[in-house]
Amino acid sequence: MRIALNARILQAPRTGIGHYVAELANALADEPDVELALFHGWGWSSDLPEAAMPGYSRLTPLLRQIPGAYQARRWLEQKRFDQGRSKTIDLYHEPSLWPLSFDGPTVITLHDLTHLHYPDTQPPSRLREIERRLADGVQRASLILTDSQYIADEAQAYFALPAERFVVAPLGVAARFHPREPEAINAVLKTHGVEAREYFLCVGTLEPRKNLTLALRAHALLPAAVRQGFPLLIAGMAGWQGEQFSDELRAALATGDVCLLGYLPDEALAQLLAGARALIFPSLYEGFGLPVLEAMASGTPVILTQHSAMPEVAGDAGNYIAPDDPDTLRDAMIRLIDDPLHWQVCREAGLQQAKLFSWERCAKATARAYRQAMGD
């Protein structure tokens, strides 16, 4: 099977979907009957591009202000997609929202329905395009991959489609996420002024859906000595409306007990995850929750809300909290500090839970979906 995989998202800094495309492409290389042709938006390649860092394009903020920019870029991508196919393509896989036009079997990955629940996380022009094109793309798709059963059920109900149109292919965990001895990560920790197991970590884009204000409020409720001994580090890019968090975040940063790290290179983030006392992941809505899996695989306990797909990922290893109650989060943090046995039990449970997921399994489920979509 020669599969066209739309890898344009890899031109941007890698967050959840970008990591999905890169890891899936690498894992599919081990499927003997799958040959990938990667479409990068402007041309075709058989190689994955290097991960971009924030600031990779100064044009992106400008494009958001230009009427019709998304439609124009989409038209140009479609032209490049059609003109650049040097060999026959058996199937087209769109891993992010609406697919390009293709005259053969199409598989799409629907990671979540964030645009329905949290439309304020999208620039208005992009939201209009999603609303205009996604439903049509879902209807045209031969099969729809989802990262979790939760999203499969949600999409099935919303789009009024039969269950057999959906295939659940849970995500995996990259090899860089594994337990590490303190001496192996001291250099990175020293850069951020922390010691192993003496800080809490949040990972996620600064946007309302991630509910990071809950973490800020809970951390502020800790006794002063505990706040100073266990600072809160936040790793992630600002959302397209980053100013939504500026007031509360500025107040927290002023105390010196909260540090905003911005977007981190993959290896630095992996080391920070492996050294944290716990990952705090208070998100209100996730199609999967990849940082939760990555933290567990790193031997780090997780504190998270019991919302959307996240219980499918964390299982019994999660320390679940109310999404609107900073007191419950504060109590969970204190217990992971004061109760070494509980911390160790959570660590071991997370390591075992993480073994249930791998990119190899994701790739095999995806390859089976390709064959099914082609009628094999």
Beta strand extents in 41-181 (DSSP E only): 44-45, 91-94, 106-109, 143-146, 166-168
Backbone angles phi, psi at 88, to 5 degrees: -65, 135
CB 173 within 8 A of CB 297: yes
Separation between Cα atoms, residue 143 and residue 125, nearest integer Å: 27
**The whole model's pTM is what?**
0.91
pLDDT digits (tens, 9 = 90+) for 47-106: 887 766 555 444 455 555 566 676 787 888 888 898 866 578 999 999 987 899 999 999
Q: What region, left, alpha or beta, does residue 275 occupy, with left being phi > 0 and alpha being psi -120 to 50 degrees?
A: alpha
Q: 182-354 has which fold? A: Rossmann fold (3.40.50)
User: What is the end-to-end Cα distance of the chain in Å, rounded?
Assistant: 11
Q: Where are the domains of the chain?
A: 2-172+358-373, 182-354
Q: In what order do the strands lie in the sheet with 106-109?
A: 44-45, 35-39, 2-6, 91-94, 106-109, 143-146, 166-168
pLDDT digits (tens, 9 = 90+) for 285-315: 999 999 999 999 999 999 999 989 999 999 9
C-alpha 368 chain-centroid distance: 23
CB neighbour class for 258 (10 Å; exposed up to 12, middle 13-18, buried from 19): buried
Identify the CATH number of the domain defined by range 2-172+358-373: 3.40.50.2000
Backbone angles phi, psi at 45, to 5 degrees: -160, 160
pLDDT at residue 57, as a whole number: 47
CB 211 within 8 A of CB 283: yes
CB 321 within 8 A of CB 336: no
Please check whether the two domains, 2-172+358-373 and 182-354, share a CATH topology.
yes
pLDDT at residue 53, as a whole number: 53
Show the low-confidence residues of the chain (pLDDT under 70).
Answer: 51-68, 70, 84-86, 121, 239-246, 376
What b-and-e string marks burial along 45-60, b requiring 16 or more CB atoms within 10 Å of the CB?
A: eeebeebeeeeeeeee
